[in-house]
Amino acid sequence: MVLFCMAAVAIAAPTLPVAGSSITSKGNPLFHDKFTADPAPLVVGDRLYLYVGHDEAQRDEMFNMREWLLYSTADIKTWTDHGAIMKVSDFKWAKGDAWASQAIEKDGRFWFFAAVEHDATHPGKAIAVAVSDKPTGPFVDAKGSALITNEMTPKGTHSWEDIDPTVFTDDDGTTWIAWGNRQCYIARLKPNMIEIDGPITEITPPHFEEGPWLHKRGALYYLTYASLDRSTHRDEKVSYSTAPSIQGPWTYWGELTGSGKYSFTIHPGIARFKGNWYLFLHNATLAIGDQNGSIGRRAVTVEYLQYNADGTLKPVEQSDAGITVPPQR
Ligand code: FUB
């Protein structure tokens, strides 16, 4: 990864909300009291839950992420701050790095998948799985060990290859998990949600960097991800591919967004909620006190996601107004 630390433009709100309090969003970034990253939306009934990583990097630190936070909304304007729903220390076998996550509902329970740094018994990044009876937690380690370790993907060239899980349940009830950095992998999950079922297959799309997100609309499957064309770009953008089946073949459609302002990373999370589709991202425009945005001090944003008649996605412009203004048709 490349280190970029840039000046930030957004100024922190004067009052700091506490867990349980209500936040009325006035545009992007969504939240001003904490640095947030790697947004992962989940719709349950009439609420949208947004799981994020908590960026706590100090000065020139690259990342300092120890816990995952949760926000929820019924109208995508007013958000409830639920505070931390899990700490990386809750996974006893992990030694740090509460990186990107995603939660899904299956059979009435909520399964939370997240990237962490494994201890010395399986060096490198790993994927953890936790479970709760409610989307708001408390979540507990569901397996007592990693679901995916670095040794399980031997083709990879670096220790942080096994990050950024995305989970998706197909119409036949099978849940799939995709993940990766530089290489993108996919595998079936067993119905118990804590074991891989069958082979791990590589599906790396063009310019794949990290942050895959699986979703389906109509008959089409989408693999949206943080992309980096190292020959021309300094910062990640979002690109996507589509397929007629979760098992491919995948067709690459190119870039969906530009880079997140001042941010090397960008991390897509997609959800349909009350008739609209949303693309959650992050940038590094937020400043809190004397802490400017940086690679490890990011802020979550949201934009409308719109489809063309053939199922391809309309390019998304990132803006300060975000979804406070109606989408352009
Ligand atoms: O937030 C830590 C890492 O940075 C995530 O796992 C990646 O997707 C990137 O956003």
Q: Residues lining ligand 1, CB < 6 A? A: 37-38, 53, 63, 99-100, 115, 163-164, 210-211, 265, 267
**Sign of the C-alpha dihedral, residues 189, 195, 197, 200?**
positive
Q: Out of 68, 148, 239, 265, give the residue to mutate to test ligand 1, the one with the largest number of ligand atoms within 8 Å of its CB.
A: 265
Q: Contact at 8 Å (CB) between 42 and 104?
A: yes
Q: Closest ligand 1 atom, CA of 53?
A: 1
For residue 57, being part of any structural domain is answered with yes
Which SS3 state, helix, strand or coil, does residue 260 take?
coil
What does the DSSP 8-state code read for residue 28? Answer: S
Please report which confidence band the pLDDT of residue 17 belongs to, taking 50, 70 and 90 as the band edges: low
For residue 206, being part of any structural domain is answered with yes
For residue 304, being part of any structural domain is answered with yes
- Per-residue pLDDT of 102-155, as tens digits, reads 999 999 999 999 999 999 999 999 999 999 999 999 999 999 999 999 999 988
For residue 234, being part of any structural domain is answered with yes
The C-alpha atoms of residue 216 and residue 94 are separated, in whole angstroms, by 32
For residue 243, being part of any structural domain is answered with yes
Number of domains in the chain: 1
Q: Nearest to residue 252, comparing CAs of 267, 263, 240? A: 240
Q: Beta-carbon neighbour count of residue 152 at 10 Å?
A: 17
The C-alpha atoms of residue 113 and residue 143 are separated, in whole angstroms, by 11
The CATH number for 149's domain is 2.115.10.20
Q: What percent of the chain has pLDDT over 90?
A: 90
Give me Rg for the CA atoms of the chain: 18
Per-residue pLDDT, averaged over 184-211, amounts to 98
For residue 1, being part of any structural domain is answered with no
Q: Which residue has a Cα nearest atom 1 of ligand 1? A: 99
Q: Closest ligand 1 atom, CA of 296?
A: 1
Per-residue pLDDT, averaged over 303-316, amounts to 98
Q: Beta-carbon neighbour count of residue 296 at 10 Å?
A: 23
For residue 198, being part of any structural domain is answered with yes
Q: Out of 267, 281, 282, 301, give the residue to mutate to test ligand 1, the one with the largest number of ligand atoms within 8 Å of its CB.
A: 267
User: What is the distance, to the nearest Å, from the Cα of residue 191 to the centroid of all Cα atoms in its chain?
Assistant: 23
Please give the angle made by the CA atoms of 13, 8 and 269, to the nearest 5 degrees: 80
For residue 212, being part of any structural domain is answered with yes
Residue 172: what pLDDT? Answer: 98
Domain extent for 55: 19-324
- Per-residue pLDDT of 242-260, as tens digits, reads 999 999 999 999 999 999 9
Residue 16: what pLDDT? Answer: 52
19 has a pLDDT exceeding 90:
no
Look over the chain and give the mean of its residue pLDDT values, rounded to a whole number. Answer: 94
Which H helix or E strand runs over 240?
A: strand 237-243
- Per-residue pLDDT of 182-191, as tens digits, reads 999 999 999 9
Q: What is the pTM of this model?
A: 0.94
